[in-house]
Structure 1
């Protein structure tokens, strides 16, 4: 029972192992290892109950209750692991929990006893968090050229970044990692990331670009939805090389309507507009509500750009002192080609 084989996070290649996370669904949803499958041994409520017993009664009582809960689930857990193993016979199974404690150890040992070879991840997912923190500490010590894509709301920056990344450019798509479009409407149609999940996404991408002397980012604020952007990227926003995109107003309006699909998210859009009521003149707010009632979303977007987003952007832009290259385009394809040409001139 004491000969359980373990593996360290530094030796773990996520693509070469079958990873099972035995924490609760809530813990898994907040943050998990890349490619991991959730194999919760406790529901969210069961975990809370056992945690309360641990704190208020004793560790022994909590373990006893845990055994009562997990025992009947073992056949299902076994079958799930067996099924994945049969799909991937050449891969070893790794079980992990929060800190490499009793949850993962008990499941891995039990599966080994009944014929399914499993490894336990040393230190659990906490070891991965430490790996991320250590990597960020090292990463910020290396100077890199940062190219910043900026422009008013609706200038298709995210679309341009996605195209550049697909062509192999060293793009850090912060909004995609955050699961948020970076405005009060930003979570509409998205699955917002937790801070830990965001940092995991950023870590995995930066590892891919570790040898790249340049990074391309969008100009973002300190907070994107509920996540905080690391300082070393924010500093690059002010000190990096800036490319400012300008496109016709009507094209911005059309693009925003296509991205947010307002007919599919009517209630969320109304809710978001109402949150701006104290920041927009009363007359404009009345016009917005009338336009929402009529489902005239192009007018809604126009009013928001003219009376909130554009003035806000222009105020923020006054903080920049570095020079920037301004590029004008009359279509996505046109402005994308111009941006790519400029980046090819700049990139080291």
Structure 2
């Protein structure tokens, strides 16, 4: 077989290269290089079988079994890669696996024999992971100014962040990166990411903001769903400038109902409410259960805010002693304008 030319992670950009991840679906789902396509040569079960053979028998036995599994799949793998390549002929194909080993090399060699001029990513996705770790370490060594958007549950902080980001502000939308809205209800209607995928999304956003001296974040806990927030952001949350937003109670209730769409997630809502049974007085829980049955979700949300989330938030706020700018309004559009004005003043 021909020797395969390699390319490093530093040389790759989405404009010139078309990436194919040949790891198993489970590995790809945990995290992958953005824009890469998954063309698995082994299913999750096949990968586990080969791994067991490697450990319990020998490398040769594992490779022989791998060949038996992959050989019949090669025509279809070629068809998938060739089809995508034809859609973007200006890009060169790059194959990667976990560490730039046998899986990616064998597929790259096969594609080359078919005349595709394919490259292999040196070090595999592990080289991408090292870049992520290096960048996050740099953030610790070279901290940026952190501006925190805070407020009671339902004060449309996520909506504020999304709109600010669309307008070019240096926002790090951590909940979006984590695939989780925060709190015990946060996974409803979402797909929580792994820690590695969360850090990959954070890294990609940090690359775009490398020239920014400040970041805007929402006030978050250490953990958002399955993701743990890096310390440099948590430390910034306590020492940075805080912009506290306040909206009328009824707007908060309506917003929460719109975001969570409880009629589409009835069972998950009930399950989440039940998890709070030890933290909320039994008489309030009975009231909530009755309103869940009658599908009166605005009442359920009101009870949750009054008896759990607002008191919890008020208690947490006592931990802060950093500068806080308090903004109050009766509409989202006005609170957004106020936040923008404060940010523009801070950045100037």
Whether TM-score is above 0.5 comes out as yes
Q: Which residue of 2 aligns with 1:141?
A: 141
SS of residue in 2 equivalent to 1:168: coil
Q: Distance in 1 between matches of 2:177 and 2:219?
A: 14
Deviations 1:85-106 (A, max 9, x none): 1111110000000000100011
Q: Gapped runs of 5+ residues in structure 1?
A: none
Q: Distance in 1 between matches of 2:29 and 2:168?
A: 30
Paired residues of 1:151 and 1:246 also in contact (CA < 8 A) = yes
Paired residues of 1:238 and 1:322 also in contact (CA < 8 A) = yes
Q: Which residue of 2 aligns with 1:194?
A: 194
Root mean square deviation, CA, Å:
0.9
SS of residue in 2 equivalent to 1:148: strand
Q: Which residue of 1 aligns with 2:214?
A: 214
Paired residues of 1:198 and 1:227 also in contact (CA < 8 A) = yes
Paired residues, number: 348
Alpha-carbon offset, residue 14 of structure 1 = 2.7
Q: Which residue of 2 aligns with 1:230?
A: 230
Alpha-carbon offset, residue 141 of structure 1 = 2.2
Q: Which residue of 2 aligns with 1:272?
A: 272
Alpha-carbon offset, residue 111 of structure 1 = 1.2
Mapping for residues 113-132 of structure 1, pairs under 5 Å: 113-132=113-132
| Closer, same or farther: CA 188–60 of 1 in aligned 2, 3 Å | same
Q: Which residue of 2 aligns with 1:336?
A: 336
TM-score, length-normalised on structure 2? 0.99
Q: Which residue of 1 aligns with 2:54?
A: 54
Alpha-carbon offset, residue 254 of structure 1 = 0.3
Q: Gapped runs of 5+ residues in structure 2?
A: none
Which shifted more, 66-75 or 112-121? 112-121
Question: Which of structure 1's runs of 4+ aligned residues deviate more than 6 A?
Answer: none
Mapping for residues 21-170 of structure 1, pairs under 5 Å: 21-170=21-170
Q: Distance in 2 between matches of 1:316 and 1:258?
A: 26
Q: Which residue of 2 aligns with 1:244?
A: 244
SS of residue in 2 equivalent to 1:140: helix
Indicate whether 1:8 and 2:14 are aligned.
Answer: no
Q: Distance in 1 between matches of 2:114 and 2:173?
A: 45
Deviations 1:277-301 (A, max 9, x none): 1111111111111000000000000
Alpha-carbon offset, residue 83 of structure 1 = 0.4
Paired residues of 1:15 and 1:35 also in contact (CA < 8 A) = no
SS of residue in 2 equivalent to 1:215: strand
Paired residues of 2:15 and 2:91 also in contact (CA < 8 A) = no
SS of residue in 1 equivalent to 2:141: coil
